[in-house]
Each structure stands twice: as structure tokens, then as C-alpha cells.
């Protein structure tokens, strides 16, 4: 269907509100093209997009269509789907509550029980609730760290894990078989399901489990000061209760504590963006704090900054903070006799190799998965189904997401919040600023500099441009860069690795990612984002000294751009 046809269909439909029609009539042609050039995609990461009228937008019609598909999927897969039900949660964004209530009502019409919270809740608590309530699935309405114009829709399986491709393929097929979003017909079941609003008992149990992840709860906290920001998101009430229960001296960034959908108190709600730390650093300077921790809006990730040995506040990347946390947790578990002899450590193919190196030094089995924490959560479930399966010890990814205890099956920003504070306190009591601690870690395991570059490809041509870039990388593979030879190439779309003139299978789901390994131990990975119009370039430089790795990723990126025709 053409852009113009879809646009006229919305303008002429009696289902579309007068206010939405006014928005449509006011759209410039460029915005019309963006809003109608395709149907919003429901893929392996669910659905995420800009709010507003249009086929390529998040609105009640596109959300309802996805929910009808999910209802049909659950009823087909689970004979007891109606009685076991679905847990639903949402973040602070525009339309999140409205979407949640409409989703619950749609599920009810299909006879499926829906559990909702009385207000916004963190993503990891939704994962826990699915497991606690023995639901057949879960839905979270969130766009994570994206700008205020966005919202999103993610689905979970009965284990509280986002659906992996082998599970979501059927759901995508069912959604794709439905009529367009304005013509989807809900076919009510004879016995309508109920919507149940959850009480605080779910909060209480989740909080108790988070607090149980502490390894050294009795360490002296009197002189250790922490600044915390929830970035206007879901974590504030629960996080502050955890801090109070565990005795930490915390200064919240009050201008970022209310669940404002416009994010007016922050320059960015994304912990990966240095601008997100402006207000937190200002407060830390005022209070002479030692550590800064912040959640993203749906509270599945934690950004970390710290008072350095130079007296300045510095921001860790997710690779750096994650590696320090891996070392702390595994060291302390080993010291206390809590480390499993059959332990497993998980990360992703774009995460720094430092964490894996540390985990191997503790005797853990390590495995890297595609980007998306669902693959780690799914592997935990597979381990539990084995008679003597590996015991999960820790999992993390470079974008600030990690999991230390498996009562949740998604990355858990509340667990991470507490454990980063404990790790920071541990080094503080040793009179060791975290930059010094990180240097000591690298002296033991090798120096690493891991850098991510993202390039936006917007509009109808964006996807085609990214596709052409990936095709070029495959048809004209990189053989060397800055004097370092490519010794191995992994093409995850073809599930094949190339090394020494031979091919080897890759035992992971197919995904449009290319990764190359260089003769100096460094690596480069290129991946179009599954949720944003961006292509991401991951550079992992490895060396024996800090000077050897300094600036290497920038050199790699510049050279790659020249070879394949893209800018910084």
C-alpha cells in the first residue's frame, strides 16, 4: 500500500479521533512519509517507535494489533493461558498508562486474565512478577532511554524472559496475518477475563530479593556518599527504599525524581550519554560524594560515575563498570565459598573481552550471545532444565545492563544499583578510587579500550543505506586495518566464521552482525540497531599498556569509514 493510500485511509477512518486527524493534516510531507512509509515493525526486540498517528507510529491502533497477535499466540501455545494470565507494566512515558489499560482490556476480551500494577514499575520487577504469578507471559510498555517522543512494547515468556527468535517468530507471523491496524477485529471469547491490580506484596518480595544479593552488607557506610538519579523513570520509590533498608547515605537528584514524561530535568535520560550526568555531577560536587549511580527510565540499566584519584568526576562505560563488578562479585563469592564449581558467565558478542577474561580466571564457563539480554535469560532457563546444568553466576552487556541473581530474567537495574554501591564502598574502604581500581584490574588482565560509535540513518532511505553498508562489508570484507591483519571474521547473518581459509559454524540465531578479530587481539563489530534507525560500530582495543590502546578505536573508526564510505 502506498504512503498516500495509507495516509488517506487514516484521514477518512471514523475510528481516528478528530485530534489525530488534525495532527495528520498539519504534517509536512517529510513527516507523512516517515509516519506511513511502512508498518511499525514487531521484531525480535518487540516494537518501538515515535508516538503519534500513522502506520509507522506507536498509537492505540498499532498497540492493539500487537496485543491481538499476542493473545492469539498465547491461546495457541498454552491451554491454560486464560487462567494463568499475563502481567503488564509500564514506564513514565506519554501514553504508557493508556496503552497498559487498553492491552489489559484487549486480553480480557480474549478471556485472558491480566495483572497490572497501580502505577509505573521497573522492567526487572515485571520479569519477576511473571515468574512469581506463574503467568504465561508479560508485557512492558517502555522505550527505555529513547527521547520523549518514543514509546515501546516488549513481550515476555513464562520464564520472565523476553521472547527469543525461536519463540517470537510465531508471534510475528500471527501479527503479520492480521488486517491493517484500523481493521483488526477483536473476537471476544464467551468468558471474559479479569484485570487484577497487584498490591504491594509483589514490591515487597522483589525488594527483599534484591537486598539478598548483597555480599558484604555489614561494611561501614558512614562516610561513603552516593548521588542517585532515576532519570524521571520507574525506579525512584523502590530504589530509595532499598537504599534506606541497606543503610546507604544517598542524595537523590530531586529535579529528576518525578516520573515526568517530558524528561524536563535532564539533558538525556540515557546513561550512555555524558549529558545525562550533568545534574548528578553538580550535586556530587556540592555534597562531596564518592559515587554516582543512575538508572535509565525503565530501570533495567545502571550508569556509574565516581570521584577519581585526580579529584574529578569521571564516567565509566558499561564495559568498565561491568568488568569491575564482575571481579568484585566473583572475588567475594570465592572468598566466602559461594562460587559454584560449575559456574557460568554470560555476555554478548559486542561486550568487551575483559569480563570474559576475568570470569575464566575464576574457572567459570563463559559464553557470548547476540545483543539482547533475552538470550542470557533464555540460557539460564535452559540450564535449569538440565539435570546438572551450569549454575548462573553473572551476566552483562556493554550498554550498562547486568544480572547477578536469576529471580529476574532480564537485566536488573535494581540489583545492579545495590551491587555497584557495595563495590564502590568496598574500594572506598580500601582508600582506592575507582580509576585506580580499574587500572589495577587491567594490570592483571590486560588493558582494554572499548568504544561505541553510532551513526543515524533516518527516513525511508535509512534502512536501505544500512543494508547497503552491511552488504559491502560482506562482499568486500576487511583484510587489515591500521597495519593489523584480520585473522577471523564472524558473519552472524550467515552463522559462519572465516579463519585461515576455513569456515566454521556459529551456534547462535541468525542476526545482521559482522565481527572481525585483529592480529593484536582487538576486535570490530558492526550491527544495525534493532530498535532505532542507527548502525552501531563497536571497537575493542587490547594491549599490554594503557598507551598502547589509547586512541586506537578512533583510528579504527576513521579508517573503516574511509574504506566503506560512512562518516563519524
CA distance linking residue 333 with residue 98, whole number of Å: 44
**Inter-axis angle of helices 200-211 and 123-132, nearest 10:** 110
Q: Which of 365, 332, 328 is nearest to 347 (CA)?
A: 365
269 burial level (CB within 10 Å; 0-12, 13-18, 19+): buried
CA distance linking residue 70 with residue 72, whole number of Å: 5
Catalytic residue among 6, 89, 127, 144: 144
DSSP per-residue codes, 227-295? EEE-TTSS-HHHHHHHHHHHT-EEEE-GGG-S--TT-TT-S-S-TTSGGGGHHHHHHHHHHT-SEEEEE
Are the C-beta atoms of residues 535 and 466 closer than 8 Å to each other? yes
Phi, psi values for residue 236, rounded to 5°:
-55, -55
- From residue 106, give the alpha-carbon distance in Å to each of 64, 80, 162, 211: 7, 17, 21, 36
Q: Catalytic residue at 144?
A: yes
DSSP per-residue codes, 193-218? --EEE--HHHHHHHHHHHHTT-S-TT
Grid cell at residue 250: 544517598
Grid cell at residue 549: 590502546
CA distance linking residue 271 with residue 400, whole number of Å: 8
Partnered with residue 514 across adjacent β-strands are 491, 526
Partnered with residue 86 across adjacent β-strands are 114, 137
Active site residues: 144
Amino acid at each position: 500500500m502506498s504512503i498516500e493510500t495509507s495516509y488517506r485511509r487514516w484521514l477518512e477512518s471514523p475510528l481516528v479521533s478528530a485530534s489525530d486527524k488534525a495532527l495528520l493534516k498539519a504534517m509536512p510531507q517529510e513527516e507523512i512519509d516517515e509516519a506511513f512509509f511502512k508498518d511499525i515493525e514487531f521484531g525480535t526486540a518487540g516494537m518501538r517507535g515515535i508516538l503519534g498517528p500513522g502506520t509507522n507510529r506507536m498509537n492505540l491502533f498499532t498497540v492493539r494489533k500487537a496485543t491481538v497477535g499476542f493473545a492469539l499466540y498465547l491461546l495457541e501455545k498454552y491451554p491454560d493461558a486464560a487462567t494463568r494470565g499475563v502481567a503488564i507494566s509500564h514506564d513514565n512515558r506519554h501514553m504508557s498508562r493508556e496503552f497498559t489499560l487498553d492491552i489489559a482490556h484487549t486480553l480480557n476480551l480474549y478471556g485472558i486474565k491480566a495483572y497490572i500494577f497501580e502505577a509505573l514499575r521497573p522492567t526487572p520487577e515485571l520479569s519477576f512478577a511473571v515468574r512469581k504469578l506463574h503467568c504465561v507471559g508479560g508485557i512492558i510498555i517502555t522505550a527505555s532511554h529513547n527521547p520523549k517522543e518514543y514509546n515501546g512494547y516488549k513481550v515476555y515468556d513464562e520464564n520472565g524472559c523476553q521472547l527469543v527468535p525461536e519463540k517470537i517468530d510465531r508471534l510475528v507471523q500471527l501479527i503479520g496475518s492480521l488486517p491493517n491496524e484500523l481493521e483488526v477485529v477483536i473476537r471476544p471469547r464467551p468468558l471474559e477475563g479479569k484485570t487484577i491490580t497487584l498490591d504491594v506484596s509483589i514490591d515487597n518480595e522483589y525488594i527483599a530479593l534484591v537486598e539478598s544479593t548483597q555480599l558484604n552488607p555489614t561494611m561501614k557506610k558512614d562516610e561513603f556518599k552516593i548521588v542517585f538519579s532515576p532519570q524521571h523513570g520507574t525506579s525512584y520509590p523502590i530504589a530509595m527504599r532499598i537504599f534506606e533498608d541497606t543503610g546507604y547515605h544517598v542524595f537523590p537528584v530531586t529535579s529528576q525524581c518525578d516520573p515526568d514524561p517530558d524528561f524536563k530535568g535532564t539533558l538525556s535520560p540515557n546513561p550512555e550519554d555524558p549529558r545525562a550526568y550533568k545534574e548528578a555531577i553538580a550535586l556530587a560536587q556540592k555534597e562531596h560524594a564518592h559515587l554516582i549511580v543512575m538508572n535509565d527510565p525503565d530501570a533495567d540499566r545502571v550508569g556509574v560515575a565516581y570521584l577519581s584519584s585526580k579529584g574529578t568526576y569521571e564516567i565509566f562505560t558499561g564495559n568498565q563498570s561491568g568488568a569491575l563488578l564482575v571481579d568484585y562479585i566473583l572475588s567475594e563469592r570465592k572468598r566466602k565459598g559461594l562460587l559454584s564449581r560449575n559456574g557460568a558467565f554470560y555476555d554478548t558478542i559486542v561486550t568487551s573481552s575483559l569480563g570474559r577474561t576475568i570470569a575464566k580466571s575464576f574457572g567459570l564457563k563463559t559464553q557470548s550471545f547476540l545483543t539482547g539480554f533475552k538470550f542470557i535469560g533464555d540460557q539460564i532457563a535452559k540450564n535449569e532444565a538440565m539435570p546438572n546444568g551450569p549454575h548462573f553466576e553473572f551476566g552483562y552487556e556493554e550498554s550498562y545492563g547486568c544480572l547477578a541473581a536469576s529471580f529476574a530474567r532480564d537485566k536488573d537495574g535494581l540489583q545492579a544499583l545495590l551491587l555497584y554501591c557495595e563495590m564502590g564502598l568496598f574500594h572506598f574502604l580500601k582508600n582506592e578510587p575507582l580509576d585506580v581500581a580499574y587500572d589495577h584490574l587491567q594490570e592483571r588482565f590486560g588493558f582494554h579500550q572499548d568504544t561505541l560509535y553510532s551513526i543515524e540513518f533516518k527516513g525511508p532511505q535509512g534502512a536501505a543505506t544500512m543494508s547497503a553498508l552491511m552488504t559491502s562489508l560482506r562482499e568486500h570484507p576487511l583484510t587489515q586495518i591500521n597495519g593489523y591483519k584480520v585473522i577471523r571474521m564472524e558473519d552472524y547473518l550467515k552463522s559462519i566464521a572465516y579463519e585461515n581459509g576455513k569456515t566454521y559454524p556459529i551456534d547462535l540465531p541468525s542476526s545482521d552482525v559482522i565481527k572481525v578479530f585483529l592480529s593484536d587481539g582487538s576486535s570490530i563489530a558492526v550491527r544495525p540497531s534493532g530498535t532505532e534507525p542507527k548502525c552501531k560500530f563497536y571497537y575493542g582495543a587490547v594491549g599490554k599498556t594503557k598507551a598502547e590502546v589509547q586512541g586506537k578505536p578512533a583510528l579504527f573508526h576513521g579508517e573503516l569509514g574511509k574504506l566503506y564510505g560512512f562518516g563519524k
